[in-house]
Amino acid sequence: MSATKRILVVEDDKALMPIISYNLQKSGFIVREAINGDEALLLIKEELPDLAILDWMVPSPSGLEICKILRRKKETSSIPIILLTAKGEEEDRIRGLNSGADDYVTKPFSPAELVARINALLRRVNHSHSNTIEFEDISIDVNKHKVFRGGKKIHLGPTEYKLLKHLMENPGRVFSRDNLLDKVWGHGIYVESRTVDTHIRRLRKAINIDGTKNYIRTVRSAGYSIDNEWKI
């Protein structure tokens, strides 16, 4: 999979950049480098990468701002993004993911882990372009509107199905109740925001069978996400 994939690395740390590039090239990726936001945006304009690795603190504009810019534009909105940062607090992770990042890697990190995260993210993207969406042991057959966990069919109501599909299409991202109301119920339709909580509870009850792990996380004062690092 990695042999033909183009990775853009945006990093201003002169010691770290060659380490990242070497390990990505060693893994078969084609690497393009940028040391600031302006240079990164020019490279993206020249050629869309298959995935972008953005350091949060690069200058003019920052990695966080680049992330927001890419998500706003139709032609770049689907580029997978990994955010690199020394900011390891939960609120920083939430902010990074809410800005549009698909994954978040805290410094210092292992180059092998970064490569593994890249491959995992690219696999998810490939699945999203197919008729099957997968997250850990949960899968959705989009054409048939069927949900499976560990190979066992799960019966969901139409709203719970839409909620699960939206969360699985955006793993790790935190969505507020209002976000989910717009995406699942539809923009302009008035529904009490707490209705989301009711459907999330139903969804959890349906998919968490036989003591299986709960992947749907409640983020206090922020919303919900599907995440394999949490048990809440």
Domain boundaries, given as residue ranges, for the chain: 2-128, 132-226
pLDDT at 165 over 50: yes
pLDDT at 135 over 80: yes
**2-128: CATH number:** 3.40.50.2300
Q: Which two tokens stand for residue 167?
A: 């969360």
pLDDT at 145 over 80: yes
Is the domain defined by 132-226 classed in CATH 1.10.10.10? yes
pLDDT of residue 127: 55
Question: Quick one: CA torsion of 95, 83, 77, 4, rounded to 10 degrees?
Answer: -160
pLDDT of residue 90: 78
Distance CA 126, CA 78 (A): 12
Average pLDDT over the chain reads 87
pLDDT of residue 36: 95
* CATH topology match: 2-128 vs 132-226: no
pLDDT of residue 232: 40
At residue 54, φ and ψ (nearest 5 deg) are -120, 125
66: left (phi over 0), alpha (psi -120 to 50) or beta: alpha
Query: Predicted confidence band at 1 (pLDDT cuts at 50, 70, 90)?
Result: very low
201-219 per-position pLDDT tens digit: 999 999 998 788 899 999 8
Q: Which two tokens stand for residue 230?
A: 């949490």
72-93 per-position pLDDT tens digit: 888 888 899 999 988 777 788 7
11-41 per-position pLDDT tens digit: 999 999 999 999 999 999 999 999 999 999 9
pLDDT at 60 over 70: yes
